[in-house]
Amino acid sequence: MQLYKIVQMSILAGLFGVLAGCGSKASAPMQMPAPEVGVVTISSQTLPVTTEFPGRIDAERVAQVRARATGILLKRTFVEGSEVKEGDVLFQIDPAPLKASLDSAQANWDKARANLASTQSKADRFKALVAINAVSKQDYDDAFAASLQAKADVEAAKAAMETASLNLGYATVTAPISGHIGPAQVTEGALVSQTEANQLALIQQLDPIYFDFTQSSTDVLRLRSSFDKGQLQKVAADEAKVSLVLDDGTSYQSPGKLLFRDMTVDPTTGMITLRAEFPNPDHILLPGMFARVELEQAVAEDAISVPQRAVALGGSGAATVMVVTADNKVEVRKITLGQAIGENWTVLDGLKAGDSVIVEGLQKIKPDMVVKPVAFKAEGDK
């Protein structure tokens, strides 16, 4: 019996020892692995400084087709919405009254020339007779003045005939430029006149086509300051790259060129007008369409840039990024931002080539935490 109790106590003691050992192991703290973060290694490079501006498409040339003679419109000779060439006949105005006016002017010119021949002949005869005192000097003066008057009548009649001839020609309305013609604004049988405010049709030249946009004078001054400080290099107007983004977000396939920058600032808006030109053979771009232009205005040499997703902007506008130090610790770094270029920010101060900036995993880290940096791969990268 005594031996049984001794064995039982030994077993219980062993169980307590095992339980105590288990409890000791459970209470030992476990070491968590360092969180993995995606980083990009900063490198200096030459970057174009591209700015996006909203604007509107405008036709390169616009011609309002108007009547230059008064009469009844007999017919329209073009297809609405088609392409016409300069000189194509568009409308025909009734020429009969204009032809009658030309015939009358022709007759008056003939009459004036006949009268000139008579008065000139008389003046020539009187000139010879006045030399021998066969006629008075007054009679010769009157004959000479009559010949001058007859010459003036001939010139006036000739001008009237030419005017009548022009008006007859205006009865045939032709296209002043080549381009796309819209709908006719008048129908056959309508009375048209050169004094009418309404146009007959509108022709617009669509290839090439203009894109007009504006830039604030403040941005221009800031850009010039960057040039003066050597932070940016100028791009010549004829070398500036211009691309267009349509209203649906798609990119226009053909690049354009910058034509001019206005030297006048609009006093009401503080904006400067710019114009770019784009080829438009398929007439995808139409006058009145709104779009956005991406204009390369400068080049930043030895530029530092970071993805926009890596930058945190404070309420006061201060910008910071998280970087990984040499001992794999997280450090908050204040930076000075330049312009946005695509999906990146240019950095004027606060970063240097070789720094590792955290782009992915920012939500699970804090300053001074040890992390495991891995190279960040954007979507689509292999």
pLDDT in tens, 71-91: 899 999 888 888 999 999 999
Q: How confident is the model at residue 299 (pLDDT cuts 50, 70, 90)?
A: low
3-state secondary structure of 141: helix
Q: What is the CATH number of the domain that holds 293?
A: 2.40.30.170
Q: How far is CA 192 from CA 74, 172, 184, in A?
A: 11, 13, 13
Q: Report the predicted TM-score, pTM, of the whole model to 2 decimal places.
A: 0.62
Angle between helices 137-170 and 96-131 (to 10 degrees): 160
3-state secondary structure of 97: helix
The verdict on residue 35 lying in a domain is no
Instruction: Please tell me the distance from the alpha carbon of residue 346 to that of residue 331, in angstroms, as a whole number.
Output: 20
Return the H-helix or E-strand segment holding 319.
Answer: strand 319-324
Domain co-membership, 216 together with 286: yes
Domain co-membership, 364 together with 236: yes
Query: Which residues, in sequence order, are CB contacts of 256 under 8 Å at separation 6+?
Result: 211, 242, 243, 244, 276, 277, 278, 279, 293
The verdict on residue 118 lying in a domain is yes
Instruction: Please tell me the distance from the alpha carbon of residue 19 to that of residue 17, in angstroms, as a whole number.
Output: 5
Whether 337 contacts 300, CB under 8 Å = no
Q: Which structural domain range is residue 105 located in?
A: 95-169
- pLDDT in the model for residue 93: 92
Number of domains composing the chain: 3
The verdict on residue 26 lying in a domain is no
Structure tokens at 226: 């960057």
Structure tokens at 59: 């036709």
Whether 333 contacts 279, CB under 8 Å = no
Q: What is the CATH number of the domain that holds 73?
A: 2.40.50.100
Instruction: Please tell me the distance from the alpha carbon of residue 211 to that of residue 174, in angstroms, as a whole number.
Output: 28
- pLDDT in the model for residue 303: 74
Q: What is the CATH number of the domain that holds 129?
A: 1.10.287.470
C-alpha closest to that of 371 among 29, 30, 32: 32
Instruction: Please tell me the distance from the alpha carbon of residue 52 to that of residue 241, in angstroms, as a whole number.
Output: 12
Residue in the structure block whose two tokens are 């940096």: 373
Query: Which residues, in sequence order, are CB contacts of 220 under 8 Å at separation 6+?
Result: 272
Domain co-membership, 178 together with 300: no
Whether 296 contacts 240, CB under 8 Å = yes
pLDDT per residue as tens digits for the range 30-46: 667 888 888 888 887 77
Instruction: Please tell me the distance from the alpha carbon of residue 337 to that of residue 339, in angstroms, as a whole number.
Output: 7
Domain co-membership, 102 together with 185: no
Domain co-membership, 228 together with 118: no
Instruction: Please tell me the distance from the alpha carbon of residue 325 to that of residue 356, in angstroms, as a whole number.
Output: 8
C-alpha closest to that of 356 among 329, 319, 336, 338: 329
Domain co-membership, 184 together with 249: no
The verdict on residue 309 lying in a domain is yes
The verdict on residue 106 lying in a domain is yes
* Range 334-337, long-range pairs (CB < 8 A, 24+ positions): 335/306, 335/311, 337/311
Domain co-membership, 153 together with 101: yes
R_g of the chain, CA atoms, integer Å = 44
Domain co-membership, 309 together with 234: yes
Domain co-membership, 175 together with 294: no
Pairing of strands 36-41, 372-375: parallel
The verdict on residue 234 lying in a domain is yes
C-alpha closest to that of 169 among 231, 224, 119, 101: 101
pLDDT per residue as tens digits for the range 111-125: 988 888 888 888 888
- pLDDT in the model for residue 268: 83
Instruction: Please tell me the distance from the alpha carbon of residue 268 to that of residue 359, in angstroms, as a whole number.
Output: 43
Domain co-membership, 128 together with 277: no
pLDDT per residue as tens digits for the range 263-283: 778 788 888 888 888 999 888
Instruction: Please tell me the distance from the alpha carbon of residue 138 to that of residue 145, in angstroms, as a whole number.
Output: 11
The verdict on residue 254 lying in a domain is yes
**Largest distance between two CA atoms of the chain:** 191
- pLDDT in the model for residue 223: 66
Q: How confident is the model at residue 297 (pLDDT cuts 50, 70, 90)?
A: low
3-state secondary structure of 125: helix
Alpha-helix residue ranges (DSSP H) falling in the chain: 2-27, 96-131, 137-170, 217-228
* Averaged confidence pLDDT in the chain: 80
The verdict on residue 104 lying in a domain is yes
Domain co-membership, 136 together with 88: no
Domain co-membership, 109 together with 119: yes
Instruction: Please tell me the distance from the alpha carbon of residue 211 to that of residue 202, in angstroms, as a whole number.
Output: 20
DSSP 18: H
Instruction: Please tell me the distance from the alpha carbon of residue 278 to that of residue 190, in angstroms, as a whole number.
Output: 39
User: pLDDT at residue 19 above 50?
Assistant: no
Instruction: Please tell me the distance from the alpha carbon of residue 24 to that of residue 329, in angstroms, as a whole number.
Output: 32
C-alpha closest to that of 239 among 327, 298, 312, 292: 298
